[in-house]
Structure 1
Amino acid sequence: MAAPGKKDYYEILGVSREASADDIKKAYRTLTRKYHPDANPGDKEAEAKYKEINEANEVLSDPKKRAQYDQFGYVGDMPPEGFGGFGGFGGQGQTFTQEDIGDLFGNLFGGGFGGRRRSANPNAPRRGADLEATVRLTLEEAYRGVTRKLEIPRLDTCRRCGGSGAEPGSSVNVCPTCHGSGQIFQVVNTPFGQMQQSGTCPTCRGKGKTVDKVCTECRGKGRVRRTATVDVKIPAGADNGMRLRVSSKGEAGVNGGPSGDLFILTEVMPDARFTRRDDDLNTTVEITFPQAALGCEVKVETFDGIEKLDIPAGTQAGSKLRIRGRGMPRLKTKGNGDMNILVKIKVPRTLTQKERKLLKELAKESGVETAG
């Protein structure tokens, strides 16, 4: 982060703080072509931008200046704005490796006054990142359970170098600048005495090691991005929005660390035949008035085939009947939910002469009046 009131050189060049020297050089060349005064005659804003670009490149292309900028947010002998008024509080200091000095004031302030705590060993194994993917299912697939093959883009251990970052046959060495710590330390004079600041080693970029020749496949990173095919088993009874964990199918770890996990979010699509409520399934059957009045047997579709259902005599429209054990499989306990059936009475839109005559006789027998 740039010091208060100072320019962010990384932002000016449009690169990340982890950008390599080649990335910085490429960004600088692109921007200078765009904002060069010859390409923008009379444009004062372009001229000012061009000066900023050159200033940023002058610092970030120099390993020593970049290291100081990364540590303190400024380059030069004067401290950043906000520290004025303290006589002798200059930025001049001497750079040491971790083996040369300990944390000054570490015991006095616990590492929290002006200095930074020493970071973890960069060569220690680190776990890979977790990943997440969404799987869309039909309701029937959720009912039965399914295995899906997913194409997962992720960082995998480089097969060529085995994760070392070194070309096969090339040696891996302890960084000569930081002696394997991944950091350099600088002591600066302050009104309170000497204080220690730490920053990323510019030689190894915090890795603590260098190689004679970097791997041609991963370019020294130890991991490469590729698409992996992962078999994901969705259990029977999966519900919408359920989150499943597939162990060790995330991104590869660093320095031999374990892989992350892959998390699967299920999305169950609507079904034209059934609606779901928890572990129960709901459906509808239509019967005629004679069937409702006299009772009947109807066929009900389920995911396991056709079930016969008895409709009692005198069943009313809107009645709910149940077939036990024909709903969704329960994930946490054994068995299935139920199939709930809503009964609807179907009224014919047209009648034959015989049907009309019979209905009139029924109405007369029942003592009800009709329009026709």
Structure 2
Amino acid sequence: MKRDYYEILGIDKNADASAIKKAYRKKAIEFHPDKNPGDKEAEEKFKEAAQAYEILGDADKKAKYDQYGHAAFDGPGGGGGYGGGFNNMEDIFSQFGDIFGGGFGGFGGFGGGGGGPRRVKGTNLRIKVKLTLEDIANGVEKKVKVKRKVKAEGVTYKTCTTCNGSGQVTKIQNTILGRMQTSAPCGSCGGSGQILDHKPNGADNDGLIFNEETVSIKIPAGVTDGIQLKVSNKGNEAPGANSLPGDLIVVIEELEHENLKREGENIHYDLYISFSEAALGGSKEIDTVTGKVRIKIEEGIQSGKILRLKGKGLPSIQGYGTGDFLIHVNVWTPKKLSKEQRQFFEKMQEDENFVPNPQKSDKSFFEKVKEMFS
């Protein structure tokens, strides 16, 4: 079971962005691989802290985590959505290296402020995937075609002549305090230490071409409209022999159902029955999001009655059970009557059995609404 991200960084949920960054830097320094060479436990804690900061350090992801917990990011990508999306230690340095400052060297040459080339990551791609309520209820695997940039066949790279492969350029400036030396990522290679050597036909100036690829996306049950999932390494590739691909961000779009309305994990359905069905009772077959069910209509059922099918709604994305399927009974009043029908109802107007006589057990509309939301 995954640990709480706030617990990992040692902060509470009210911590602001500055406090979150400070807490992560403290953990990163404590478990930094240069400080703990060969210590696998420290390495895992270093990765764990990076996963926590990846979520809590981003306002949108933090909001989703606060609402749904880890389940908001459990999905495709092999790393559990956003959290845990790092393939190795180098990924962490390439994304959060600026936080460590200059106190440490890199890890395997991919430092975050201590000099040396950095591992360049490609840009992310974003797509929308439309889902029906049935898809959301059961979970689904979608195959989508994605046009992404990849390295052209035969492309080669060589050591950057500007920085000589270091990925950094050093500048010396005269200031009122004396000569100051500063380092910055090389503008020619973007800090990777490599530039294009051989560009195949059709490739751009980075040695990349567009390639259409079919990507399989496993979408868990219970997702909500607007939630984002991540497929690691299926975004655009970046130039350089040691670069990392970006990610594919999948935004869920929930399609409106013709007959059903969603309310969180609950599903609402309006069932219309005739006067005779209401008086005599019977049964009805209903289409739910998980299949057909047959329900019993009691004799004398009243319009506004709510029938609850426990556990026939949508599963919670957090894994906290399944919602209900709520059937709202509506007795349909005919708008036109034949002569015989009119005579029948005129006769029944005086019959005491047709005079409204609600009992205490017959809840009012407001009581039903209150009960439904409690």
Could you tell me how far apart the structure 2 residues matched to 1:332 and 1:191 are?
59
Q: Deviations over 1:309-329 (max 9, x none)?
A: 222233221111122333224
User: Which residue in the other structure is 1:359 paired with?
Assistant: 345
How far residue 348 of structure 1 moved from its aligned partner, in angstroms, is 1.6
The aligned runs of 1:222-237 (5 Å cut-off) are 222-237=207-222
Could you tell me how far apart the structure 2 residues matched to 1:201 and 1:331 are?
44
Letter paired with 1:238: V
User: Which residue in the other structure is 1:282 paired with?
Assistant: 268
How far residue 136 of structure 1 moved from its aligned partner, in angstroms, is 1.5
**Gap regions ≥5 residues in structure 1:** 1-106, 108-116, 166-171
- Pair 1:119–1:273, CA change in 2 (3 A): same
TM-score by length of 1: 0.55
User: Which residue in the other structure is 1:80 paired with?
Assistant: none
Q: Choose between structure 1 and 2: higher helix proportion.
A: 2
Report the aligned-residue RMSD.
3.5
Is 1:141 matched with 2:138? Answer: no
- Pair 1:120–1:225, CA change in 2 (3 A): farther
User: Which residue in the other structure is 1:3 paired with?
Assistant: none
| Cα pair 1:178 1:208 within 8 Å, conserved | yes
User: Which residue in the other structure is 2:334 paired with?
Assistant: 348
User: Which residue in the other structure is 1:269 paired with?
Assistant: 255
User: Which residue in the other structure is 2:154 paired with?
Assistant: 160
Work out which of the residue numbers 249, 260, 264 in structure 1 matches 2:234: 249
Could you tell me how far apart the structure 1 residues matched to 2:193 and 2:251 are?
38
When Rg is computed on C-alpha atoms for both structures, the one with the higher figure is 1
How far residue 276 of structure 1 moved from its aligned partner, in angstroms, is 0.9
Could you tell me how far apart the structure 2 residues matched to 1:210 and 1:314 are?
81
- Pair 1:303–1:201, CA change in 2 (3 A): closer
Could you tell me how far apart the structure 2 residues matched to 1:203 and 1:298 are?
71
Letter paired with 1:256: N
Is 1:195 matched with 2:180? Answer: yes
Number of aligned residue pairs = 244
| Cα pair 1:160 1:217 within 8 Å, conserved | no
Could you tell me how far apart the structure 2 residues matched to 1:132 and 1:217 are?
25
Describe the SS at the equivalent of 1:141. Answer: helix
Could you tell me how far apart the structure 1 residues matched to 2:122 and 2:189 are?
21
Letter paired with 1:313: E
| Cα pair 1:188 1:196 within 8 Å, conserved | yes
Describe the SS at the equivalent of 2:286. Answer: strand
Is 1:151 matched with 2:145? Answer: yes
| Cα pair 1:186 1:198 within 8 Å, conserved | yes
Could you tell me how far apart the structure 2 residues matched to 1:243 and 1:346 are?
42
User: Which residue in the other structure is 2:288 paired with?
Assistant: 302
| Cα pair 1:118 1:198 within 8 Å, conserved | no
| Cα pair 1:185 1:197 within 8 Å, conserved | yes
Work out which of the residue numbers 170, 180, 188 in structure 1 matches 2:165: 180
TM-score by length of 2: 0.55
| Cα pair 2:154 2:200 within 8 Å, conserved | yes
Could you tell me how far apart the structure 1 residues matched to 2:187 and 2:308 are?
72
Is 1:121 matched with 2:116? Answer: yes
Letter paired with 1:248: N
How far residue 342 of structure 1 moved from its aligned partner, in angstroms, is 0.7
